[in-house]
Amino acid sequence: MSLSFTKMHGLGNDFVVIDARQNDPALDTATIRHLCDRRFGIGCDQLVLLTVPTLDGADVHVRFFNPDGSEAGACGNASRCVAKFVGGTPTLQTAAGLLPTIRDGDLFTINMGVPRLDWQDVPLSQACDTLHLPLHDAAACSMGNPHATIFGDTSRAEGLGAGLEQDALFPERANIGFAQILSPTHMRLRVWERGAGLTLACGSGACAAVVNAVRRGLTERTCTVTMDGGDLRITWRADGHVLMTGPAATVFHGTTA
């Protein structure tokens, strides 16, 4: 099966974008894994499938797939790439809800919605204070996908990420962020992504880290998040919505054999 695709990235977090709005290829798990493979396929942190929206007010329906074939509910960096791909200021229909976008030159702002803070909504496997989990004193929330943030040394990401992603506390697995607070308006962050491993950047992880830092009184509600691939600006507005601002880049277009 020959597929046209576009390779894109947001701060080095890279994606294979397939526009299926006119012809849906109905990709199965094995095909997704093959396309995401960096040696035998195209290679990416996530595959992004665009289809016709089914909700009023949406311009495109977006689905995000991890390299292991599992589906993610949200991806901030990929959402900016989709906004660039579609053009204008589209509203994205995702499993996490409708995500409006704003464009300012080369920067894209995605309204990532309202974080969910109750333990059932993360979700966790047992009742816990989501601000202080019994697991490395992490803080947890959902940005449409489950996140836990550990504050302190970001170098622990390689050693702890894989095990914590699959800890029994997270029945749907979790994205694990390792955050170092540099100032009330600046943090350093590395994220072990569920189903993808350590990536250069994670948009929803940056949102979760700022939400969790604000809840603990560690940062202000607008914060620059520096990741291995670059910076995002995150604002947790007074109305509860989280805005994520950063760049998106097109790398190349191609067709599979």
Domain boundaries 4-99+248-255, CATH class: alpha beta
What pLDDT, in 10s, does the model give residues 167-191?
Answer: 999 999 999 999 999 999 999 999 9
What pLDDT, in 10s, does the model give residues 204-252?
Answer: 999 999 999 999 999 999 999 999 999 999 999 999 999 999 999 999 9
- Mean pLDDT of all residues in 21-29: 90
Q: Give CA–CA dist 67/41, Å, rounded.
A: 11
Q: Give CA–CA dist 214/108, Å, rounded.
A: 23
Q: Give CA–CA dist 118/115, Å, rounded.
A: 10
Q: Which residues are catalytic?
A: 75, 202
23 labeled part of a ligand binding site? no
Record: fold of 139-240 = Diaminopimelate Epimerase; Chain A, domain 1 (3.10.310)
194 labeled part of a ligand binding site? yes
Q: Is 164 helix (H, G, I), strand (E, B) or coil?
A: helix
175 labeled part of a ligand binding site? yes
4-99+248-255 and 139-240 share one fold:
yes
111 labeled part of a ligand binding site? no
What is the per-residue pLDDT for 74?
Answer: 85
Q: Give CA–CA dist 165/192, Å, rounded.
A: 8
Cα pseudo-dihedral 96, 97, 102, 103, rounded to 10: 50
What is the per-residue pLDDT for 1?
Answer: 72
Instruction: Compute the mean pLDDT over every residue in the chain, rounded to the nearest whole number.
Output: 96
Please state the domain extents for the chain: 4-99+248-255, 139-240
Residue 35 has pLDDT above 90, yes or no: yes
What is the per-residue pLDDT for 24?
Answer: 84
- Give this prediction's pTM: 0.94
